[in-house]
Structure 1
């Protein structure tokens, strides 16, 4: 059974404009287009659309989704199993965050007391949702080394690591209105380079590529910009300059 674009949009809970965009970028091309130019979507199209929306919910970019679905090795059943596991993990993280927020509200009202440790129980930095992308860009060795270094840490050490990360972000956020090639900015971004190279070997090219990802990937950009709007772009520019200076040495 074929469905028209408006019906398909209503089924999926998205806009007609979104479906047109998916068609334009080759992500979801309807199997049939009538002589009058109407798009008609097949059952296979609807299955692909479902996959697109699952991956989108999990934070994948449209470009990455297209690469996955167009791969000759793509298996729909395997993808569904993976998506289910990822969604369950996401739900678990959200449940912990909601519980922590509820307790924090009660604490703010003076109804309960919270220890400093309890204030951060919902945050988990032991898993990295961008790991696969890192593997694709820089290979397994650097990522495996970084994962092992973090996995070998105690919970207290991991919490200290997270705070150290945030401290560097906050320092860079203060500098983001200035020039990325200033002495202060380059000193701060140098601290970031020293920090991440404690957990893996990053060449200047890999460091520059990481900066590009901070801007290109919406998830990275939104997370970094929580410390200050425009921080991701500032870091990308500062990292590019720092990498170029490293290559000159």
Structure 2
């Protein structure tokens, strides 16, 4: 575990920024000490790395939060894009460096502005953003949620939370039982009706995320009691035939 001060020194991200990421739910610490100090584990540091790489692609923080919390988030795809962007940045810097060296060594005017052209970088970032926004589920959710008011969204999330609360009294039951499996179906139906088509594959990915630690696990355990997130995941695995 690392303290917020240690993470700041390691990554170059200010303590104030890390605190802000926690406040907006972008990067939650692995745990808090009794005194309220933030502690970060390797999983949290990996997530911070992903956040910083997406910032290099100039994504807004709210979009980064949505992307990295998706059940179908593809880390390999993200890294490939970020490698491509960094290679373009390297080329851009080398062009500027070569121009500066030329001007210094020759001491003559050279009216060449091609080294300042950042259009390839801009186009790459644009295409990367378009790719992350092109999944059918993302489009469907964007369409359904575009007219939501804050009050409606809060009510919807409260309804969704109740489904997890109802799992709490079931923890002692067999996750394969008809009652528990019917509760899993409620999750799938709710997401499909209100957000996007929730296939079994997407549901399974969500289940892994629910039990994967961090904010999701913590919140679900608050709704249904300690162990609820893991129980839901086990029930989803059975529901999805995994």
- Give the TM-score category using the shorter length: 0.5 to 0.7
In structure 2, the CA distance between the partners of 1:128 and 1:161, relative to structure 1 (3 Å rule), is farther
Larger RCO (CA within 8 A; separation ≥ 6): 2
Which residues of 2 match residues 196-235 of structure 1 at below 5 A?
A: 196-198=191-193, 199-227=195-223, 228-235=225-232
1:143-173 per-position Cα deviation (integer Å, ceiling 9, x unaligned): 2312331333455543442232122112111
Which residues of 2 match residues 47-126 of structure 1 at below 5 A?
A: 48-50=11-13, 54-55=17-18, 57=22, 58-59=26-27, 61-69=44-52, 71=53, 75=56
Alpha-carbon distance in 2 for matches of 1:50, 1:128: 16
1:70-113 per-position Cα deviation (integer Å, ceiling 9, x unaligned): x5x7639x58xx56xx7xxxxxxxxxxxxxxxxxxxxxxxxxxx
Conserved? CA contact 1:134–1:143, under 8 Å: no
In structure 2, the CA distance between the partners of 1:51 and 1:149, relative to structure 1 (3 Å rule), is same
SS in 1 for 2:240: helix
Alpha-carbon RMSD: 3.7
Counterpart of 2:161? 166
In the alignment, structure 2 segments of 5+ residues that lack a partner are: 29-43, 75-131
TM-score (norm 1): 0.52
Conserved? CA contact 1:180–1:234, under 8 Å: yes
Counterpart of 1:34? none
In structure 2, the CA distance between the partners of 1:128 and 1:173, relative to structure 1 (3 Å rule), is farther
Alpha-carbon distance in 1 for matches of 2:5, 2:173: 43
TM-score (norm 2): 0.53
Once the two structures are overlaid, the 10-residue window that deviates more, 142-151 or 201-210, is 142-151
1:203-223 per-position Cα deviation (integer Å, ceiling 9, x unaligned): 211110110001114110011
Structure 2 residue aligned with 1:134, among 70, 76, 89?
A: 70
Alpha-carbon distance in 2 for matches of 1:175, 1:192: 15
Alpha-carbon distance in 1 for matches of 2:143, 2:188: 19
1:224 is displaced (CA, Å) by: 0.8
Structure 2 residue aligned with 1:13, among 5, 14, 17?
A: 5
How many residue pairs are counted as aligned between the two chains? Answer: 160
Alpha-carbon distance in 1 for matches of 2:64, 2:171: 26
Once the two structures are overlaid, the 10-residue window that deviates more, 219-228 or 59-68, is 59-68
Counterpart of 1:241? 238
